[in-house]
Amino acid sequence: MFGITPSARLRPSPFYEATVKEGVTNFTTYNHMLMPTAFGKPEEEYWRLINGVSQWDVAVERQVQLKGPDAGRLAQILSPRDLSKQKVGQGKYVPLCNHQGILINDPICLKLADDLYWLSIADSNIWFWAAAIAAERGLNVEVSEPDVSPMAIQGPKAEDVVAHVCGDWVRELKYFWFRETEIQGIPVVVQRSGWSKQGGFEIYLRDATKGTALWNIFREAGASWGIGPGGPNWCERVESGLISYGGDTDSTTNPYEVRMGKYVDLQVPDDTVGIYALRRIAAEGPKRHSLGIILDAGEPVKPGFLWNPIFKEGRKVGDLTNCVFSYRLQKNIGFALIDSACVIGDAVQAQVAGVMQPGKLTDLPFL
Q: Contact residues for ligand THG (CB under 6 A)?
A: 61, 93, 106-108, 120-122, 150, 193-195, 202, 242
Q: 74 or 108: whose CB is closer to ligand THG?
A: 108
Minimum distance from residue 173 beta carbon to ligand THG (Å): 14
Minimum distance from residue 112 beta carbon to ligand THG (Å): 13
Q: 195 or 215: whose CB is closer to ligand THG?
A: 195
Q: 124 or 308: whose CB is closer to ligand THG?
A: 124
Q: 76 or 357: whose CB is closer to ligand THG?
A: 76
Q: 107 or 222: whose CB is closer to ligand THG?
A: 107
Minimum distance from residue 140 beta carbon to ligand THG (Å): 27
Minimum distance from residue 158 beta carbon to ligand THG (Å): 13
Listed in sequence order, the residues at least 6 apart from 182 whose beta carbon sits closer than 8 Å to its beta carbon are: 188
Compute the distance between CA of residue 331 and CA of residue 95 in angstroms, rounded to an integer.
Answer: 31
Other C-beta atoms closer than 10 Å to the C-beta of 207 total: 16
**What b/e readout covers 100-136, taking b as 16+ CB neighbours within 10 angstroms?**
bbbbbbbbbbbbbeeebbbbbbbbbebbebbbeebee
Compute the distance between CA of residue 67 and CA of residue 82 in angstroms, rounded to an integer.
Answer: 19
Other C-beta atoms closer than 10 Å to the C-beta of 85 total: 7
Would you call the peptide bond into 255 cis, given omega within 30 degrees of 0 as the criterion?
no
Minimum distance from residue 133 beta carbon to ligand THG (Å): 20
Minimum distance from residue 15 beta carbon to ligand THG (Å): 14
Q: 119 or 350: whose CB is closer to ligand THG?
A: 119
Q: 243 or 324: whose CB is closer to ligand THG?
A: 243
Minimum distance from residue 239 beta carbon to ligand THG (Å): 12
Read off φ and ψ for residue 261, nearest 5 degrees. Answer: -60, -30
